[in-house]
Amino acid sequence: MRFCKYCGNQISEEVEKCNYCGKALVTYKRIDEIGVQTRKTKKKIILISILATVILSAVVCGIVFISHSGRCKVSGCDNKVVSGSDYCYNHKCSVANCNKSQTSYSNFCYNHHLMYDEDDDSYASPTKPAKAPVYDWELRITVTDLYTKYGTTYVEGTLKNESDSTVKFVTIKGAFQTYSGTTIDTDTTYAVGSEGLAPGESTKWKMFVSEDSRITKCDVTVIKYDY
């Protein structure tokens, strides 16, 4: 049973206006329906937002996938490119930090072909590929002793060839330094001569300068080599 809140007369449960006083009424049922509709609208908005996020993520992933699935630019090659290059491992220059393509009958690009393929020992041909270049960091230097004797400061150590090729005429330089790294004096010497140093082999070396009480260490580096 329902009564008009304005005139007090009994009215139907379904009417929205009183039959006696004519005033508009908002039923409890109507208020509940409005609340349900509002909640449904909010759910739709949330679902649409989630769907839009999923679609956007899929598009981004697709772009990333496409950018990482490039093919070698050499005609007829379907291999994937090396990161940072337009060519696959079979067609990229063999020098690690070079991303250019190889030249004909060589493992190197044009610039590195001139550097490495012109040597008699490593010239590339259709039946004999050029050997890999040697890098200075593959010539491992170890300082074993630093001492002073008869007014002279000596440094001794070893050089190991960790590359895949024999090296010759390896020149090393020793920078005799203070504790803070200031260079007092330097010396150079051949660690390896014409006899060469094969892969995996080691050799001893020694350098010296005039005695100076400030010298506490020696920084030794490879400055020149051939192979």
| Same domain? 140 vs 222 | yes
In a domain, 35, yes or no: yes
Residue 24 has pLDDT above 90, yes or no: no
Q: Confidence class of residue 140 from pLDDT cuts 50, 70 and 90? A: very high
Q: Which segment of 20-29, 76-85, 189-198, 201-210 scores lowest on mean pLDDT?
A: 20-29
| Same domain? 143 vs 212 | yes
Query: What domain count does the chain have?
Result: 3
- Phi, psi (5° rounding) for residue 223? -115, -15
The pLDDT value given to residue 207:
96
On average, the pLDDT of the chain sits at: 80
Distances from the Cα of 120 to the Cα of 73, 127, 142, angstroms: 31, 15, 31
In a domain, 208, yes or no: yes
* CA nearest to 162, candidates 125, 127, 196, 198: 198
Domain interval for residue 98: 71-133
Q: Note the pTM of the prediction, 2 decimals.
A: 0.44
DSSP string, 52-85: HHHHHHHHHHHHHHHHT--B-SSTT--PBPPTTS
- Phi, psi (5° rounding) for residue 134? -95, 135
Exposure string for 56-76, b = 16+ CB within 10 A, e = fewer: eeeeeeeeeeeeeeeebebee
Residue 175 has pLDDT above 80, yes or no: yes
Residue 67 has pLDDT above 90, yes or no: no
pLDDT in tens, 55-66: 877 666 655 454
In a domain, 61, yes or no: no
The separation between CA 71 and the C-alpha centre of its own chain, rounded to angstroms, equals 20
The pLDDT value given to residue 104:
66
Q: How many residues does the chain have?
A: 227
Amino acid at position 18, single letter = C
| Same domain? 24 vs 91 | no
Residue 109 has pLDDT above 50, yes or no: yes
| Same domain? 116 vs 141 | no
Percent of residues, the chain, with pLDDT higher than 90:
34
